[in-house]
Every structure is written in C-alpha cells, then in structure tokens.
Structure 1
C-alpha cells in the first residue's frame, strides 16, 4: 500500500502514490521475467572432470609434472578426444592457468573428451623433455581411452604457442612415439595455434637464437635447433596426420606457419595455414571457445572432417 506523507493531499498525493505503484509493479515484472527466463533455459550438459591423472611414471619424474585433467561429456562413449598442450615459452604455465576459460566447455559441448596436460618445464628440464612428456601423454590416453569414454582411434592434438610447437613436433618426428611402441598415425589431426618456433634454424642468427628460447634450447647448438624444428623433420614416408595451423597477424608466426604447411603439402601430407582475424597471440588462446569466437569452430570442423575420412 502507498503511504501519503507530509502535507501532500488531493491530486498531487494521488499521482505520487500511483507512480510508486507503477514502479513497484515494473520491478516485480522484471523479477518474474528473469525467473521465467532462467528456469526456461535447457539444463547444461553434465561434464565429469577427473583431475590430476598421472599419465607417466618413471624414475626421477615429479608426478606433478606429468598430470592431466580430463573433461568428459555426459554419456560419452567412443567419443573423439583432444589433448591440449598449453603455452608459456616452455618455461611456465600449467593445465589450468595457461588455458582459456572456455576451452574445456566448448569442446565437451561438441562431444569431445578434452584433456589438458602438464609437462616438464625449462630451464630445469630442457628440450626434449617436453616432447617426451607429450608422447607419454598420447601413449597413456591412447591405451586408456575407453576408461574416459573415448575412442583410441579418434585422438587429436591441440596446442597454443609453445604447446603448438610440441604438438607439431611429436606428430612429425616419429622417434618420440616410437619410444612407446606407437606410430604417428595414432594421431587423427593436429590443430596448432600461433607458434613462431616451427623452424628454429631460421629463427637463429649469428650463431645464436633469441634469448627468449635459451631456457628451453641450447643457444649456440644448431643440431639442437634442427632437432626441435618440425619443418625440417617432415618426411614423405612418415604417416603424418593432417594439420590446421592457425596464426594471428604478428611478426614471425605467419611466415613459420605457412612454411610448415607448404613443407607438409610438398611431401604429400594434408595441411592448411589459416589467419584468425581480430585476435592477438594471447586472445587467440584466452577467447578460444567463447561466444562469437571463430577459431574453435574452425578446429571442430577440421577435426570432424578427419573423422569423416
């Protein structure tokens, strides 16, 4: 009920009271609309999260370095899976703080089991420790895929920055998976996001590589640069999976992505280098899978094309 206070009487008091009622009714209507909207939305699909799965055990390994979080869509059975390798210049980051907040949800909504992995970091662990861990994770989840509702024959790799370099190298150089009794053809496809390190031999100048790379790679050892350069290791006879190389408009990365794509195609493999507009190196990862993002749908479309082959 509206109260008349002070000396207000007559028409003025009536208008004041009427306006208060109208405001109150408007607020109640908005609250009711919000209530109806929330409860009319379809329930979000349940996602089971299994954290800190240890994917490799070996003498001297810190279990914290070789753990992964697994995000499983509701009712997953023989689902495709994607192993994500985070960026951070091979020196920092982990399976949670170096990933965009939308990635796991986006890919599980699309029916993928999403696996975010840790790996050993430089400078305590220099190259090729990171590649060895990538291969160990692939071998583990290939063997244990059914336990997580996934199909071992539908395994994809994804990585950002340093992680993109790792994903590319482990899919191109067969030695890493060979150590686990596997071939590179266990990988159905690779989505590599904006690395500038696909060819360190072209990055190095005057007998050195940029300081940025020193913690992970020997600064003056050209043999190490070559061994860490996916572009230089492409072989026609190696069963290399299809590649989608996404890059943004920045220095070095576009040229290195295009060079790798052309090298792969020149050796008879499938590859495409594609520009992602209106994204920086950081936001490509941070916004991956967010509303309006164009990169994540590109990746899912690419993955599904490989499943259809």
Structure 2
C-alpha cells in the first residue's frame, strides 16, 4: 500500500495536469514510472549505442522481447521520436521500446541529426540510413529483414512518412524502398504549408524551394506502403487535419490509409498512451500493434533475399 501511494504521488508530481509536456526529461520519467509500476519485465535492451553512421547522433538502440531465442526472426519496428526536429534522444524512449517489444517486435530506436546543426533533409537522410542499417543487420539480432515497419511520433512520424512516400531517400541510402511494409504515424505533420515564420518547421526546412518538397502529402501515391495515421482531437500542436488530409490523399490515389482520431487526446498524450501508466487514456498501443502485425504478417521475398 505504501509503495502504491508513493507511485501515485510520483506520477502526480511528474505528470500532473494531464501530462501535457513530454520533453526529454518527461520521457525519461516515463521510463522510470514504467519500471516502478512493475512493467519493466517482458522486454530487454539488446543493443545500445550501435552506430549506423559516422556522426555523433547516428547511433541506435535495439529492444527485444525477453523471450527472444537464438534463431528467432521477429517482425521489426523502427521508431522515430518527435521533438520538432530540434530536440529528442533515443535514451528517453525506452518506454516505447519496452512497450512494442512486449508485443513481440524487435524495436529499433535511432537518433538523428537536429536543428540548428542540421536542416532538411539531414534528419530524413539519417532516418533512411538507420532503416537501411536495420535491413542489413537485423537478421543477426533476432529480427526479420522481410518484415520491417516504421513508426513515429510528431516530427518522427514526418520522417517515417517521408521514407515511405518518397522512394529517393532509401535509394540514396543504398536500400530498397519496398522493405517498408507499413507506417504508424502518431500526431504527424504531413501537410503544414505555409510554414509558421520562426517556428520549428521554418527553422528546420524554411529555406527549401519549392516548399512542397518538404511535405509528405506532396508524395501521396497509390502504391505506397499502408499507413495507419492516428491523432488526438485536442491536438493543438500538430492539427488533426494533417492526418485527415494525408489519409484522404492516399485514398484518392488508390492506396491504403487508415485514420484514427482519439477523443480527448492531445499531442503528447498519444505517445504517452504507449507507456503502462497511461494506457487507460486510449487503446493506442493495442490498435497500433494490431496494424503492425497485419502489415508484417508475411515476409517479403525480395527484401529477405537482399539481406542474405
């Protein structure tokens, strides 16, 4: 009883007022709260600080189920965190790695270059390089290179969508765009022109011409991997119209895009709902992993052959 009360007080102190912010410290606190609530079992950090490039922010972590055995080939999720392209670190998102690994996935969480040292398309190129590294090496780490999906929150959902919709990025990383089996986007910015002057988007990509090159919706196509786009109806950071517009554009092009709008949920709440203390806010984890299992249910022969 004392432990329970301590945890309740801790969560109120850390996440009072509906947990409206999830800056790096908040995400680390989610990791701590997850462990304190006894939800740390079932997953483990298999590999930390693995370089996928030569830069200081070109490293990744890999989470796996505790039950992973030698010779297993589990479906893979590459998760890109958000932060407006100017903040974030993979070490703050262990709660995502644990949550998805407990669901039976090998989870790759890369860092990527950030503003002000980097600008568009540096963070897309890094995301592509991390995905290409995953495809090449994941078979040795319990994952199936023929069953790779992408997932991201906010700016990370943007990165994932750009990789899925514009094939040039994975090709430039010497990989095959067909390795992506599907994308889960949580509160992603996909259609946000004109850029707010001085805002995060402007600082990250405001000098790109034509500006449409920066917009995932500009690359909507019928043969894109299936998308599952989720947003909260109270998101005032990345408006729900971003997910609505991209889903509609994909469907008009003849592709597959599911739209899920969670009532009463805001921008950070949708990713926080992946963590054990906040899953009662909405079935984000359950529904996202249902989609991920569906799109990774079968192996891709060409992708598997390329990885051998």
**Into which bin does the TM-score normalised by the smaller protein fall?**
0.7 to 0.9
Quote the offset at 1:49 in angstroms.
2.5
Matched, 1:66 2:55: no
Give the RMSD, CA atoms, in angstroms.
Answer: 2.2
The TM-score normalised by the length of structure 2 is 0.76
Residues 72 and 108 in structure 1, CA contact (< 8 A), matched pair in contact too: yes
Deviations 1:155-194 (A, max 9, x none): 0111111001110011100100111333322111100010
User: Structure 2: how far apart are the matches of 1:45 and 1:232?
Assistant: 40
1:108 shift after superposition: 1.0
CA contact under 8 A between 2:148 and 2:296: conserved in structure 1? no
Listed as ranges, the matches of 1:1-309 within 5 Å are: 44-45=41-42, 47-57=44-54, 62=55, 64-73=56-65, 74-76=67-69, 77-97=72-92, 99=93, 102-195=95-188, 197-201=189-193, 203-204=194-195, 209=197, 211-218=199-206, 221-223=208-210, 225-236=211-222, 239-249=223-233, 250-251=235-236, 253-290=239-276, 291-292=279-280, 293-308=282-297
Conserved in 2, the CA contact under 8 Å of 1:261 and 1:272? yes
Q: For 1:55 and 1:244, how far apart are their aligned partners in 2?
A: 27
**Larger C-alpha radius of gyration, 1 or 2?**
1
Q: CA deviation at 1:143?
A: 0.6
What is the alpha-carbon distance in structure 1 between the residues aligned to residue 41 and residue 115 of structure 2?
39
Uncovered stretches (5+) of structure 1, i.e. residues with no partner: 1-40
Question: Is this contact kept in 2: 1:185–1:240, CA < 8 A?
Answer: no
Note if contact 1:184-1:241 (Cα within 8 Å) is conserved in structure 2.
no
Tell me the TM-score normalized by structure 1.
0.76
> Is the 1:200–1:226 contact (alpha carbons within 8 Å) kept by the matching residues of 2?
no
Deviation at 1:109, TM superposition (A): 1.1
Question: Displacement, 1:70?
Answer: 0.4
Partners of 2:43 and 2:153 in 1: CA distance: 27
Preserved CA contact (<8 Å) 1:289 1:295: no
Aligned length: 253
1:135 positional shift: 0.5
In the alignment, the residues of structure 2 paired with residue 163 and residue 186 of structure 1 have an alpha-carbon distance, to the nearest angstrom, of 18
